Amino acid sequence: MPGVGSLCHHGRVTAVDRTHPIAVFDSGVGGLTVLHECLVWLPHEDFVYLGDTARFPYGGRDADDLRARSLAVARRLRDDGAKMIVVACNSATSAALPALRDELGDAVAVVGTVEPAARLAAAATRNGRVGLLATPATVASGAYARTLADVDLTSVACPKLAPLIQAGGELDSRVVALVDEYCEPLIAAGVDTVVLGCTHYPLVRAVLQRALGRGVTIVSSGQAIADEVERQLTERDIENDTDRRGSYRFVCSGDAGEFRALAARSLQLPVDGVERIDIEEYVGVAGRAA
């Protein structure tokens, strides 16, 4: 598998090989909630997860910055041989999805978080009132508001929640208090469905469900994305149809040991080695796609 084990720099992959891995990226461990669903429901595929931890959190960055960074990450993943790239971060999806699809063209499929989750939420609501919890960048982008134009959407920006989860401390009363604060406007608005518009939030799903009450349906990106990935693999005829179990591995742009410890606590599956990689050299590089 060229590039998969070696992560060769500036390698070129010209044809899509169904045995190549699917890449999943985010700025931190939040995207692991998406990887988790992909690993559980697509066990024959190989995956590589890229945590751009040197730039955590994406959620506080402006759109230009996010677009440049996402393009750099995606070029790196393409050159390493990814057959599909999953943008497992709502902020990056909101800012960069069209740019990523332009850059990568038909060679590499790109799946983002917003549309699959929004579709699930629109299907789930019974009273037409939907809540959104997300980072300031995602709320400001209006990506969910555009995709959920037919429902009464109440959006709450939660600047402190993803950093608190990423910090990896034990779940405690601070998390409960913060979740209560952010959920209060949604309860006041009478929503019956809440979209977790940040991939970190499923890591506190039980706290959220207790705060919102049992009448509220929580929708997260993970399962929706796993379904969308499967759909696109089939449509493009690039499923890994071998019979063996798939592999998965991790790279990050920050401290590898720190990332490994956090990932081991979040993924609920074994986390073996984590390799530190450099993304800086890909920032601002022109596209190399055929």
Residues with catalytic roles: 89, 198
Instruction: Read off φ and ψ for residue 252, nearest 5 degrees.
Output: -150, 160
**CB closer to a second copy, 34 vs 39:** 39
Residue 176 makes contact with a second copy by CB under 8 A? yes
Distance CA 188, CA 121 (A): 19
**CB closer to a second copy, 109 vs 179:** 179
User: Segment near a second copy (CB under 8 A), from 11-19, 88-96, 136-144, 265-273?
Assistant: 265-273
Q: Which of helix, strand or coil describes residue 202?
A: helix
Least separation in angstroms between CB 267 and a second copy: 8
Other C-beta atoms closer than 10 Å to the C-beta of 160 total: 13
Q: Which two tokens stand for residue 63?
A: 């759109």
Nearest to 240 by CA among 63, 47, 90, 100: 47
DSSP H/E element including 118: helix 114-124
Please say whether the beta carbons of 38 and 47 come within 8 A.
yes
**CB closer to a second copy, 198 vs 226:** 226
Please say whether the beta carbons of 134 and 109 come within 8 A.
no
User: Segment near a second copy (CB under 8 A), from 122-130, 189-197, 234-242, 269-277?
Assistant: 269-277
In whole angstroms, how large is the CA radius of gyration of the chain? 18
DSSP H/E element including 87: strand 84-87
Distance CA 122, CA 95 (A): 22
Least separation in angstroms between CB 268 and a second copy: 5
**CB closer to a second copy, 88 vs 96:** 88
Residue 124 makes contact with a second copy by CB under 8 A? no
Length, in residues, of the chain: 290
Least separation in angstroms between CB 265 and a second copy: 8
Residue 269 makes contact with a second copy by CB under 8 A? yes
Q: Which two tokens stand for residue 42?
A: 């697509």
* Residue of the chain from 268, 275, 283, 285 that contacts a second copy (CB under 8 A): 268
User: Segment near a second copy (CB under 8 A), from 47-55, 57-65, 92-100, 199-207?
Assistant: 199-207
Contacting a second copy within 201-230 (CB under 8 A) = 204-207, 209-210, 213-214
**CB closer to a second copy, 85 vs 267:** 267
Distance CA 87, CA 89 (A): 6
Please say whether the beta carbons of 23 and 223 come within 8 A.
no
User: Segment near a second copy (CB under 8 A), from 74-82, 108-116, 172-180, 275-283?
Assistant: 172-180
Residue 40 makes contact with a second copy by CB under 8 A? yes
For a second copy, the binding residues (CB under 8 A) are 36, 39-43, 170-173, 175-176, 204-207, 209-210, 213-214, 245, 264-265, 267-272
